[in-house]
């Protein structure tokens, strides 16, 4: 029996836009609720959200097969990447990538030897159904989906070289940090920022890689859809909850 098919990875090559939602509250019940609302994917945020290893594990279990789950790691730490894969994450979003060499090392962290350096402990891991998936070691590499996050001008400068790295399935542009790096802190919608963002998304797609981004601005989101981005996050659990509660209270 092979490793479970990564349907999100397959769909990245279809040319359609997959719509996602950010999970930042670190709560399994919130993840479970969000998983049943029709989004193509959810991302558990381990960079800014209060999510340790066991928090991520609990949310993976809560979501189950309702939708596809991405996990954003804290950074490119090799040990953490290994653990996230072992607990059952199949798609990783790794932040703050600024060079092709850094991206290559992240790729190596996600793959078993000889293609990479992921430690072999699948017999003990949830990823292999605790050794219930007999061919896990032989098939896991093909089902890992790696998305790297470019969110600084250094990353933008290295983008063309980064896009040549084998094993990078997609590139996610982080508009908030990019805007800050460009001198537009808190203003990712600034025209100067959006010019860089749209150029980067176009270059990613032209290189045959999947392009992704997050925005809660519906006008910007529609523009990204028209641009053809393959994975687009259109909000967060925090944002939706706060907006809904504020609107409800305001109505009375």
Active-site residue flag, 184: no
Q: Alpha-carbon distance 173 to 80, whole Å?
A: 22
Ramachandran region, residue 15 (left: φ > 0; alpha: ψ -120 to 50; beta: rest): left
Indicate which residue of 5, 48, 218, 242 is catalytic: 48
Q: Alpha-carbon distance 141 to 196, whole Å?
A: 33
Complete DSSP assignment for 96-119: ---SHHHHHHHHHHHS-TTT----
Which residues on adjacent β-strands are paired with residue 70?
Answer: 43, 91
**Lookup result for tokens 């890992």:** 144
Rg (CA), the chain: 18
| Catalytic center residues | 48
């Amino acid at each position: 029996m092979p490793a479970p098919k990564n349907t999100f990875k397959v769909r990245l090559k279809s040319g359609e836009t997959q719509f996602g939602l950010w999970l930042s509250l670190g709560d399994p019940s919130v993840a479970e609720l969000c998983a049943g609302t029709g989004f193509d994917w959810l991302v558990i945020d381990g960079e800014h959200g209060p999510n340790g290893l066991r928090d991520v594990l609990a949310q993976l279990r809560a979501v189950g097969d309702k939708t596809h789950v991405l996990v954003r790691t804290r950074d490119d730490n090799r040990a953490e990447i290994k653990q996230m894969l072992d607990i059952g994450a199949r798609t990783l979003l790794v932040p703050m990538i600024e060079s092709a060499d850094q991206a290559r090392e992240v790729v190596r962290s996600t793959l078993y030897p000889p293609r990479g350096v992921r430690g072999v402990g699948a017999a003990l891991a949830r990823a292999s159904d605790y050794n219930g998936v007999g061919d896990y070691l032989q098939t896991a590499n093909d089902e890992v989906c790696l998305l790297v996050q470019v969110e600084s001008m250094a990353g933008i400068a290295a983008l063309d070289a980064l896009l040549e790295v084998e094993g990078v399935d997609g590139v996610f542009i982080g508009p908030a940090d990019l805007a800050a790096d460009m001198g537009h802190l808190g203003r990712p919608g600034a025209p100067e920022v959006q010019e860089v963002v749209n150029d980067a998304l176009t270059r990613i797609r032209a290189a045959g890689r999947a392009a992704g981004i997050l925005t809660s601005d519906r006008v910007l989101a529609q523009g990204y859809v028209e641009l053809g981005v393959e994975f687009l996050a259109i909000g967060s659990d925090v944002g939706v909850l706060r907006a809904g509660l504020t609107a409800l209270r305001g109505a009375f």
